Each structure stands twice: as structure tokens, then as C-alpha cells.
Structure 1
Amino acid sequence: MTKQAKLIGIARRAKSRAPMETLEQVGCSTALGIDGDFRGKLRKRQVTILSIEDWQAACDAIGRDDLPWTTRRANLLVTGISLPREVGAKVAIGSVMVEITGETDPCRRMGNAAPGLEEALRPDWRGGVTCRVIEGGNIQCGDAVHLVAPS
């Protein structure tokens, strides 16, 4: 039996450098991305998605198992799915559809959070993906996540 891919974490921040606020559910719109997140107005980077498997691999690479996923400052945490490493790929999360616009490049803030973390997030898009919302709706932890075949 295969493990179902699902959304296991939601976080946002009201402004740059603000602490991450975790949520159980949130609305998403094509105009503003994650409700209440300051990046929503950035069309190519409305939402960032990180897989727990990639996060754990990065933490293992630096010998740390105590870093919460919100250290990465991503909006959504998923499990059981290999996120596409290509611009234009589509991912459905509950009733919401996002399109991948690029890689979430690790920044020096990751190195400040834990020595070596910035470098550990660099290989193979391990730091996650940036997306824009193409179909809005509400999402909640536990929602199914799946790749959408190109039309």
C-alpha cells in the first residue's frame, strides 16, 4: 500500500523577517496567495512548498534533528510526494491548484539559523519550490496533495 501524499503543515508571516505563524487551515487566492502572508502580492512567489523528506535530508546532512520545518520559512509542508523540479508543473492541494514558478533558493538566513543549512538545502531543489495560485480555495492540514498531469 502506498502512502498518500498530504499537506502536513501551513505557515505564514505578516511581513518580511516576522516570525512564522502556524495554522491548521487557511484560504488561498489567485490575487494574494496564502491569506495574510506578505508574499502574496509577488505573483511568481505567492506560495512556497517544502517536502518533509527534503527537509529531513538537509537536517541529516548537518547532523541536526531538532530544527522545526518553519526554520525554512516555507508556507506549506507536504509529505509523500516528490515535488516537481520544473517550472510550469502543477500541484493540487485540496481544492487549491498551484503552478511551480521556480526553486526556493536557500539564503544566508538558513546559515544563520544553523551552520551548514544553507548549503544542505541547495542540492536538487531540496529547499522547496515557489508557486503561484492558479485556482483558489481553502486548504487544511491533512488535505491530499497530487501532481496534475499536463493538459
Structure 2
Amino acid sequence: MTDDAPVGRVRSLVTAPESGAPPERRESVTVHADGVAGDRYRAGDGTFQLDGCAVTLVAAEALDAVRAETGIDVSDGRHRRNVVVEGFGAGMDDLLDATVAVGGALLRPTRRRPPCAHVEELAGAAGLAAALRNRGGLCCDVLEAGDVAVGDRVAIREADPRTTGAEIAARLRERRE
């Protein structure tokens, strides 16, 4: 991890036991290789099973911005993402393809998780999908299982390959100069 890499915290944790079930906020969860204990996707019951994610992250800053811009408050978990993290900005693009320590688990965010009309329908909040566009969170693979609790540290353990490659190239250029 580089010295200037951002460090954040877990603000909240959310699971839903089955497809369409109301979200449940948790103080702690166990992340397994195939998903979050107690969550619909780990149980094989998520609505978008073919496009499911083992773990989903969303930025607390994105949810705060949605509330400020639209008045829609989904801090109760109606955003339907598993881990709300703060400290990485609303888009969290710096986390894509990086190795990220989230509490006792090690995750790799692989792609954006855009919002859909289904999340808006379940949340009962017209305009939520549009408000979350480009800040709906990230899908993650689980590299190491572990426990995660509200307040746990979130840190980039290893930058994504593009960033790492750029840093190496910059150091090599400096040596030549």
C-alpha cells in the first residue's frame, strides 16, 4: 500500500435474506468466498443471479449526495449494497481492480454495480436509480474470507495493475533522469 492511498471505514452493513426481502442492517457480517452470510446472493436467491456479485460496496459519500440532491434517504439499506464505506469519494473508481482490505476480509472490486429500476421499486423511491447513476457501487470478488464490522478499517492493500504499472514506469523515468 502506498503512503498516500486513501483509508476509509465501514459505515454500515446490509443483507437481505431472500430476493425482494427488506434489507437488514447488521453490526457485523462474515464474508465467505461465495458471498456475505445471510445475504440472498450467497443463498442463491438474488434477483440478478446471473449478474450477481459475491459482495457489493457503495460509497457513503454517494448516498449522502443522493440525500442532499434529491431528499431520498436510503441509509436504512434500501440501496441494497452489502458494505457502505466512507473515505473513498462518491465514485470509488480508485478501488476498481485493487486489492482492498475490508475489516478481516480481502476483496477485489471488479466492476461498477449500476442501479436498476428493481432497486428503485423495492426502495419505493422514485428517482433513486437515476440519482445513483455512476455512483451505484462496485461488485467484488472475495480473495480472503473474514469478518467485517461497522467501524472497521478499509484500505487499499495493493493498487490495481494499471496504477502499479504507472508508478513503476514513473520510478524508472526518474532513475534515468
Which residue of 2 is the match for residue 108 of structure 1? 117
Which residue of 2 is the match for residue 148 of structure 1? 157
Deviates more, 1:45-54 or 1:100-109: 100-109
After superposition, residues 27-42 of structure 1 pair within 5 angstroms as 27-30=30-33, 32-40=34-42
- Change in 2 beyond 3 A, CA 1:73/1:93: same
Which residue of 2 is the match for residue 49 of structure 1? 57
When normalised by structure 2's length, the TM-score is 0.72
8 Å Cα contact 1:59/1:117 also seen in 2: no
After superposition, residues 1-151 of structure 1 pair within 5 angstroms as 5-30=8-33, 32-40=34-42, 45-62=53-70, 64=71, 66-82=73-89, 83-84=92-93, 87-112=96-121, 113-123=124-134, 126-150=135-159
For structure 1, the residue ranges without an aligned partner over 5 or more in a row are none
Instruction: Indicate the percent of aligned positions where both proteins have the same amino acid.
Output: 28
3-state DSSP class of the match of 2:77? helix
Larger Rg: 2
For structure 2, the residue ranges without an aligned partner over 5 or more in a row are 1-5, 162-177
When normalised by structure 1's length, the TM-score is 0.83
Q: CA RMSD in A?
A: 2.3
Deviation at 1:105, TM superposition (A): 1.3
Q: In the aligned structure 2, how far is the partner of 1:132 from the partner of 1:18? A: 23
